């Protein structure tokens, strides 16, 4: 029986729209990344080999995301076809399909937003390196394997969505109302929109402050390590002391305004620490994995 309900058709269209957003943004950010890398190449220090490796990693990341998104779109089309074949005109079945699509739309919007955040993270890290005062091997060490790491993260994100679609297609084809599916996905959506979203925002706030205070060396490897080591201690359950001075943060203490810069870094770090300390037991593993993926300078294990 064809799928004729306009409300359900609209929800499927909204679902597909999220993949179009990812495609458009990925293509745009890929071009932005190329321009930033070209600007890095103009600096003294990096060799052609280093630049070529960075270009390769960034290309691998964005092309990989586009491929993942293409597979994601195919899975959605298959899901749409499955609904068409299994759809009946009973009010309960229509309500069930509508509920599933509503939850999937929320999840799809989150995937699109998370990818947008990741694209921003790639660009921010490249810009920090572009603006760095230190044109040494340290710049390249911090970006080593960065594209692959980000792609692995994207694979997990898309993989999670694929699993939801597979599970739901299984339940749709047996034509039974499996209400626990909706409850299970709703629970996961609630978790994904809880502490992790707050922590991501606080982490990004710190990175933004680093970039804005780069003239004080705030984006260099030393203050970056200080910050990440604090996160490592908090995640382990240890008490961490947040630095208060320019010397403690290992930024340029001889520059006018360096202590003000240190206070800003301290404030942003304190806000993130408080958010981490408010994480529930159920959320801890997901939060830990996110922070572990962001803090490449310290060992969490």
pLDDT tens string 120-154: 878 877 777 676 645 445 556 666 677 788 888 88
Which residues neighbour 276 within 8 Å (Cβ) at sequence distance 6 or greater? Answer: 199, 231, 234, 235, 287, 291
Q: How far is Cα 84 from Cα 76, in angstroms, rounded to an integer?
A: 12
DSSP-assigned letter for residue 105 = H
80: number of Cβ within 10 Å: 18
Element (H, E) at 163: helix 146-173
Q: Where are the alpha helices (DSSP H) in the chain?
A: 6-41, 48-86, 91-131, 137-143, 146-173, 179-192, 195-212, 221-236, 246-249, 258-277, 281-294
Cα gap 25→31, rounded to integer Å: 10
Whether 246 and 216 have beta carbons less than 8 Å apart is answered as yes
**How far is it, in rounded angstroms, from Cα 291 to Cα 297?**
11
Q: What is the pLDDT of residues 53-76, one digit of tens each?
A: 888 888 888 999 999 888 888 888
CA distance 16 to 22: 10
Provide the pLDDT for residue 44.
Answer: 61
pLDDT tens across 160-176, in order?
A: 777 767 766 666 655 44
Predicted confidence (pLDDT) per residue in 214-258, tens digit: 889 898 888 999 999 999 998 888 888 999 999 999 999 999 999
Given a contact cutoff of 8 angstroms between Cβ atoms, the answer to whether 236 and 288 are in contact is: no
Alpha carbon distance 224, 206 (integer Å): 10
């Amino acid at each position: 029986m064809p799928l004729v309900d306009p409300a359900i058709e609209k929800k499927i269209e909204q679902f597909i729209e999220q993949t179009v957003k990812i495609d458009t943004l990925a293509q745009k950010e890929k071009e932005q990344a190329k321009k930033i890398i070209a600007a890095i190449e103009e600096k003294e220090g990096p060799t052609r080999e280093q630049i070529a490796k960075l270009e390769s990693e960034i290309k691998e990341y964005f092309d990989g995301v586009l491929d993942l998104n293409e597979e994601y779109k195919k899975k959605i089309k298959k899901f749409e076809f499955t609904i068409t074949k299994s759809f009946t005109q009973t009010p309960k079945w229509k309500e069930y399909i509508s509920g599933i699509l509503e939850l999937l739309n929320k999840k799809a919007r989150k995937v699109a937003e998370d990818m947008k955040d990741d694209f921003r993270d790639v660009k921010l890290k490249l810009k920090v390196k572009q603006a760095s005062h230190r044109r040494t091997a340290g710049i390249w060490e911090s970006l080593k394997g960065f594209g692959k790491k980000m792609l692995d993260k994207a694979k997990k994100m898309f993989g999670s969505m694929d699993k939801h679609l597979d599970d739901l297609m299984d339940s749709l084809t047996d034509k039974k109302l499996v209400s626990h599916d909706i409850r299970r996905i709703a629970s996961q959506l609630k978790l994904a929109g809880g502490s992790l979203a707050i922590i991501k925002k606080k982490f990004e706030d710190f990175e933004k402050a680093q970039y804005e205070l780069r003239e004080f060396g705030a984006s260099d490897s030393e203050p970056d390590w200080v910050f990440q080591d604090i996160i490592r201690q908090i995640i382990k359950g240890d008490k961490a002391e947040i630095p208060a001075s320019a010397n403690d943060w290992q930024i340029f203490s001889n520059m006018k305004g360096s202590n003000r810069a240190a206070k800003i870094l301290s404030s942003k770090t304190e806000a993130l620490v408080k958010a981490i300390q408010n994480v529930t037991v159920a959320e801890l593993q997901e939060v830990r994995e996110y922070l572990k993926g962001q803090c490449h300078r310290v060992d969490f294990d």
